């Protein structure tokens, strides 16, 4: 495994060699899978809650809970095919699973904008997170977000899509989903062409704020703002994008990953935080590689990233400072971490290993416990991969994952009160 990590890090610094080597890795995985005994499909207290009806089901990203506040319902989307494209043209059904009635699915609405990694940004809307959902759609020739009451079916259509939504339901942050689709398939939407495709550093906003009551939209940051922040020479001549907006628990600040790709195809990422009015930008992580993050509190973030002189792994960062604490030195695989509702535990996952197994880890203090293992079929790979994206329920007793272990994407629940 040490050799594999060294090879991965080397290829990350040499993108052309990485592209050349890419076709060989699935062959290596197939050989390792064939030699493995036993051949794990699902291991641990994992059970599917969506029907085995020939359709595919998914929820989306790891920073949102599919359960409403009372845990009466779980939300997800239903499609006929989630592997043909990272952002299919086929509309998706927005489904509620009635937990008390054996997770019986009921179709609530449809959306024409969704992708393989984050769905349609479907989530329960605060402050109560009980009776209203918000999701993205394509209506009247534009990307929109829709607030829908699940009981009355009343809708409010807003002029912009959402990426991150404040916990109190008052505002959202968003970005250019067409540029994101072109530069990072599986995270944006296909419906509109990228009007900035000929601009390495687009001349205009990259992040907007949307008032969810009035629909008022306010540009917060431009690409030039980010390029000017602690400017680096490797940004010159590179193509820039933003992704992974997350709002702090007190709704005062947000994080964004600023990414750029140079002429040789090498990718750089840094973690930037700012007030939710666009002021007080801070360059929090700038050692070339930052992956998945999660706010622990209003002033702390958990991140999987590289720190110069420390290597790559999980760290707890102090916002607007250079302070950081390395965590769990044996957990060297990138994953999607989040804190439990009480903040006392962390759940995270891994990408498929050489045997195509994804691991689910529960972390309490310094103790890291593997609670489940899930097989990742070979056809769910690259831009149409099925990451587990574990998300907590409202009580901190179980998590929900998306998985394709049984041949199609489905929504699964992992009971953390059970030890297999």
Q: Write the pLDDT tens digit of every residue in 268-302.
A: 999 999 999 999 999 999 999 999 999 999 999 99
pLDDT tens-digit series, residues 228-276? 999 999 999 999 999 999 999 999 999 999 999 999 999 999 999 999 9
Write down the pTM of the prediction. Answer: 0.94
Q: Contact, 79 vs 71, CB < 8 A?
A: no
Q: Is the pLDDT of residue 372 over 70?
A: yes
Separation of alpha carbons 62 and 368, rounded Å: 19
pLDDT score at 1: 52
pLDDT in tens, 42-83: 999 999 999 999 999 999 999 999 999 999 999 999 999 999
- pLDDT of residue 21 exceeding 90, the answer is no
DSSP conformational letter for 297: S
Determine the pLDDT at residue 3.
60
**Mean pLDDT, the chain, integer:** 95
| Calpha distance 295→338 (Å, rounded) | 8
Q: Supply the CATH classification number for the domain 36-415.
A: 2.130.10.10
Q: Which residue has the higher pLDDT, 409 or 7?
A: 409
pLDDT for 28 equals: 79
Per-residue pLDDT band at 411 (split at 50, 70, 90)? very high
Domain residue limits, the chain: 36-415
Q: Helical H runs in 197-303? A: 223-228
Is 309 or 410 the better-scoring residue by pLDDT? 410
**pLDDT at residue 31, rounded to an integer:** 82
Is residue 320 very low, low, confident or very high in pLDDT (cuts 50, 70, 90)?
A: very high
Residue 78 CA to residue 410 CA, distance in Å, equals: 9
């Amino acid at each position: 495994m040490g050799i594999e990590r060294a090879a991965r890090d080397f290829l990350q610094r040499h993108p052309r060699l990485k592209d050349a080597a890419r076709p060989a890795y699935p062959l290596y995985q197939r050989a390792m899978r064939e030699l493995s005994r036993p051949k794990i499909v699902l291991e641990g207290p994992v059970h599917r809650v969506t029907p085995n009806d020939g359709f595919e089901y998914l929820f989306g990203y790891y920073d949102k809970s599919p359960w409403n506040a009372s845990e009466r319902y779980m939300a997800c989307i239903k499609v006929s095919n989630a592997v043909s494209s990272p952002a299919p043209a086929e509309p998706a059904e927005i489904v509620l699973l009635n937990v008390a009635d054996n997770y019986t699915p009921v179709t609530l609405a449809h959306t024409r904008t969704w992708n393989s990694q984050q769905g349609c940004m479907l989530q329960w809307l605060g402050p109560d997170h009980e009776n209203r959902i918000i999701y993205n759609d394509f209506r009247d020739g534009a990307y929109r977000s829709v607030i829908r009451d699940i009981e009355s079916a009343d809708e409010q259509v807003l002029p912009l899509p959402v990426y991150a939504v404040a916990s109190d339901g008052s505002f959202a942050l968003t970005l250019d989903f067409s540029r994101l689709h072109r530069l990072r398939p599986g995270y944006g939407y296909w419906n509109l062409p990228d009007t900035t495709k000929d601009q390495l550093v687009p001349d205009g906003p990259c992040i907007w704020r949307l008032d969810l009551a009035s629909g008022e939209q306010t540009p917060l940051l431009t690409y030039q703002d980010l390029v000017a922040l602690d400017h680096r020479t490797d940004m010159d001549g590179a193509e820039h994008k933003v992704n992974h907006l997350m709002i702090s628990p007190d709704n005062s600040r947000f994080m964004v990953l600023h990414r750029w790709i140079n002429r040789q195809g090498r990718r750089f990422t840094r973690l930037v935080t700012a007030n939710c009015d666009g002021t007080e930008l801070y360059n929090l992580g700038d050692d070339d590689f930052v992956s998945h993050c999660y706010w622990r509190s209003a002033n702390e973030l958990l991140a999987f990233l590289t720190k110069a002189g420390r290597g790559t792994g999980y760290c707890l960062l102090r916002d607007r400072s250079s302070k950081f604490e390395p965590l769990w030195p044996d957990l060297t695989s990138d994953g999607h971490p989040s804190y439990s509702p009480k903040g006392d535990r962390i759940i995270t996952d891994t990408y498929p290993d050489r045997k195509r197994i994804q691991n689910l880890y529960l972390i309490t203090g310094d103790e890291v416990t593997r609670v489940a293992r899930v097989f990742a079929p070979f056809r769910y790979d690259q831009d149409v991969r099925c990451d587990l994206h574990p998300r907590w329920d409202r009580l901190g007793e179980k998590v929900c994952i998306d998985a394709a272990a049984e041949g199609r994407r489905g929504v699964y629940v992992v009971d953390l009160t059970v030890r297999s």
